[in-house]
Structure 1
Amino acid sequence: MTVLGNHDYWTAPRGVREALNKAGIVVLENQAVRRGPLAIVGIGDRFSTHDDTVSSLTAARGIGGVPIVLTHSPDIVPDLPAGLPLVLAGHTHCGQVVLPWIGPLLMRAPKDHWRQLYKGSNPAEGEMTP
């Protein structure tokens, strides 16, 4: 399963979706599907304004299961409720990895003049403010 990203939407979303479907890959667009004990939640890309977090999470609650979120970039993380066990994003910059109880692994971007990546973090509650 996958979600489309900003460049997919900017170029040929229909063609990308059709090619992925032809290869047997399910594209989730602000939807959730149940796979065993998991509710796989696909939230659209925030940067290209295709995200609908509320509808996606509502769909997940409706099917039950442990929610696992797929999204193109981690831009949506500050808007997600605490307690989601896993958010996977394919398009990240500067190693945006935040572990439960530990927090961000990297707080500054070494290749971007050491600019601060996160203003704050509360790893116990799963909150991060970019």
Structure 2
Amino acid sequence: MIKRLKAFLMYILVFVGGILAAWAFWLEPSSLTTQRYSLTMAHKNNFSPLRIGIVSDIHIGRFFGDEKRLERIVGTLNDEKPDIIVFLGDFVAQRSAEAFVKSAHQLKKLEAPLGVYAVLGNHDWWSGKTDVVQALTTNNVQLIDNQHIDLKWKGAQLRLIGLGDYWEDEHLWDYIAAHKASEIPSIAITHNPDVFPRIPSDISLVLAGHTHGGQVNFPIINSPIVPSQFQDRYRYGLIHEDGHHLLVTSGTGNSILPVRFRVPPEVVIAEVAFTSAN
């Protein structure tokens, strides 16, 4: 009787383990969800709600990051009809831009009246970045690392600031040091959220990726590995500190291992507004 019970329990463990493995190594990594946020921030200048499509960490060339994957991401974004689209870096995987360059023509299909903008991530730098930059600019994606652009929307202005990669871009700190505060609402896009405590005071919202949301999130112990000096503090989601907001997306791709568990790949749609009424 005891032997039969042990055998039965072993079968159950193997069965459950198989289901969890299939989920973590195939079903969840190959999925694509849409995460939504709505955020109204205080500013002396009002700014009507802006619909922002946000994508990070595509990692084309590794496991589930192929051209069909990018085509699916583009289709999901277009279906949401965003006013502007931003990419937060790490277009490539395995320090090679070859697969991304071959797939990048899909980006030309993106539709957003205010345009498509991007910053580079650490993997893009590790690939040599030249091919990534060319692939993006050729396909109507404007790179704004350590630059800003003023956008006009429904009679008001918004400053979009690109902050270079925290790990790799040596010009980031010079740009921040030379930054002059803007009188208009400002949003920054960057790859690594670790820059958040050092952002200029006039930036109300920072959009970042890099962490993959931890990529796996176990019950009780959460995510054992988060590529951030702040660990779980900036792992994922909407964070508010010292009058500023940080939105960290889990991204769409994988790093190191082709696995995700309770941290599904996502495209983010954020409705952002500024009002003097707060």
Q: TM-score range by the shorter chain?
A: 0.5 to 0.7
Question: Which region of structure 1 is more displaced relative to structure 2, 47-56 or 2-11?
Answer: 47-56
CA distance 1:59–1:81, change in 2 (3 Å): closer
1:112 aligns with 2:224: yes
Partner of 2:77: none
For residue 61 of structure 1, report the CA deviation from its aligned partner: 3.5
Partner of 1:45: 165
- Which of the pair is proportionally richer in helix? 2
Question: Which region of structure 1 is more displaced relative to structure 2, 44-53 or 24-33?
Answer: 44-53
CA distance 1:127–1:26, change in 2 (3 Å): closer
Q: Which one-letter code corresponds to 1:28 in the other structure?
A: I
Report if the CA contact (8 A) 1:31-1:56 is conserved. Answer: no
CA distance 1:70–1:53, change in 2 (3 Å): farther
With structure 1 as the length reference, what TM-score do the two structures score? 0.68
For residue 124 of structure 1, report the CA deviation from its aligned partner: 5.2
- Displaced runs of 4 or more, over 3 A: 56-62, 121-124
CA deviations 1:84-108 (Å, max 9, x no partner) are 321111323437xxxxxxxxxxxx9
Partner of 1:4: 120
- Structure 1 CA distance for aligned equivalents of residues 129 and 149 of structure 2: 21
Q: Can you give the 5+ residue segments of structure 1 that lack an aligned partner in the other structure?
A: 96-107
Equivalent residue pairs, number: 112
Q: RMSD across aligned C-alpha pairs, in angstroms?
A: 3.3
- Structure 2 CA distance for aligned equivalents of residues 50 and 109 of structure 1: 35
With structure 2 as the length reference, what TM-score do the two structures score? 0.34
Q: Can you give the 5+ residue segments of structure 2 that lack an aligned partner in the other structure?
A: 1-116, 215-219, 226-230, 234-238, 247-278
Partner of 1:98: none
1:34 aligns with 2:146: no
Question: Which region of structure 1 is more displaced relative to structure 2, 39-48 or 51-60?
Answer: 51-60
For residue 38 of structure 1, report the CA deviation from its aligned partner: 1.1
- Identity across the alignment (%): 30
- Structure 2 CA distance for aligned equivalents of residues 10 and 46 of structure 1: 13
Higher Cα radius of gyration: 2
